[in-house]
Amino acid sequence: MKTFRAFRIHDTEGHAGVEQVSLDDLSPGEVVIKAAYSDINYKDALAGTGKGKILRKFPLIGGIDVSGTVAASTDPELREGDEVLVVGRGLSETHDGGYSEYVRVPKEWVTPVPTGLSLFDVMALGTAGFTAALGIYQMEHNGQEPEQGLIVVNGATGGVGSLAIDMLAGRGYEVIAITGKPDAHTYLTEIGASQVRSRHDLDMGKHPLEKALWAGAVDSLGGEPLAWLTRTVKPLGNIASIGLAAGHALNTTVMPFILRGINLLGINSSYCPNGLRQRIWERLADDMRAHHLDKIVTATASLEEMAPVFDRLLAGTATGRTVVKIEP
């Protein structure tokens, strides 16, 4: 096979760019995928700019997600031409990632694209959508129901937040979106939020318990916003903790947990077992389907056009999702 294009990261200083590589340069695996699409997540922006310690070895091809067709496989269950995806594994951490015209991965990492979703759709969802769906699944597994009341989503204009709003509204929940972007209110109501509140107007208080406001929450920020949620969720409510854009520290007390019985659910897509992973993707094509991908995907980019998107994500000015078209 001739050489092909890939976005390769060389060190922690952000020295990265599109270059020619060959299959011999790629991490090992039983399956070679001809990539069609990837996407841009917060982790991709950190890795691609050198502003976060995401990669554990160098050089490495970026991109934590990919969709495409099987080009070669030693696994008889994965045949040439099969449409597949890889999301939430070790891509762009310890293994060459999805920003490449060809991607080689272990067979255990590969998930068939579910009927009803396209190669584009699964990257419009990507790690963000899969993680949001996994968070909702865990909340409902723990007893969450629409009849219990409002669900708050913070970091609402990001990929996880946007897709969580869409999925929750589709499942009958009334969703309150919290954002710091004053121009995003129309976008958030269009994708399913019943109310939009500015985080700049919130009084987070200082007491161990504040007034109970929400039946549950999806948090992609961490830090003080998550601590505030623990103090304001109603008894027996669930919080899906997904991100740490506002900080990794959690300064709270045990009082919400023992006096209100709230549940803080850590969501990690990388450690999701294969059986559950397949069920979540099948539900993303069915009862957890996102109905507003046309609004949530706010941009597409080529491998050569990703750098400005990285900058917008890290600056907190990006909205929704960006899908990367791999082929030139």
Which pLDDT tens digit goes with each residue over 2-29? 999 999 999 988 899 999 999 999 999 9
Do 148 and 172 fall within a single domain?
yes
126-139 residue pLDDT tens: 999 999 999 999 99
What 3-state class would DSSP assign to 153? strand
Do 133 and 261 fall within a single domain?
yes
Identify whether 121 is part of a domain.
no
pLDDT at residue 245, as a whole number: 85
Q: In 3D, which of 69, 107, 104, 110 has the Cα closest to residue 87?
A: 110
pLDDT at residue 169, as a whole number: 98
What 3-state class would DSSP assign to 7? strand
152 contacts 195 by C-beta, under 8 angstroms: no
pTM of the shown model: 0.96
Point out the residues of the chain with pLDDT beneath 50: none
Identify whether 288 is part of a domain.
no
CA dihedral (69, 320, 128, 156) in degrees, to 10, reads -170
Rg (CA), the chain: 20
Enclosing domain of residue 190: 127-269
pLDDT at residue 271, as a whole number: 87
In this structure, what token pair is assigned to residue 187? 């976008």
As a whole number of angstroms, the distance between CA 92 and CA 181 comes to 30
As a whole number of angstroms, the distance between CA 39 and CA 18 comes to 16
Do 162 and 264 fall within a single domain?
yes
Residues 6+ apart with CB under 8 A from 252: 208, 227, 230, 231
As a whole number of angstroms, the distance between CA 288 and CA 282 comes to 9
The helix (H) or strand (E) run that includes residue 216 is: strand 214-219
Q: In 3D, which of 27, 28, 62 has the Cα closest to residue 42?
A: 62
As a whole number of angstroms, the distance between CA 125 and CA 59 comes to 27
As a whole number of angstroms, the distance between CA 226 and CA 250 comes to 7
Do 139 and 215 fall within a single domain?
yes
As a whole number of angstroms, the distance between CA 126 and CA 117 comes to 12
Number of domains within the chain: 2
Identify whether 275 is part of a domain.
no
**Side chain identity at 253, as an amino acid letter?**
T
Q: Provide the sign of the torsion angle of the four alpha carbons 287, 269, 9, 29, taken in this order.
A: negative
Do 98 and 225 fall within a single domain?
no
In this structure, what token pair is assigned to residue 169? 């509204």
152 contacts 173 by C-beta, under 8 angstroms: no
pLDDT at residue 1, as a whole number: 66
Do 155 and 43 fall within a single domain?
no
pLDDT at residue 328, as a whole number: 81
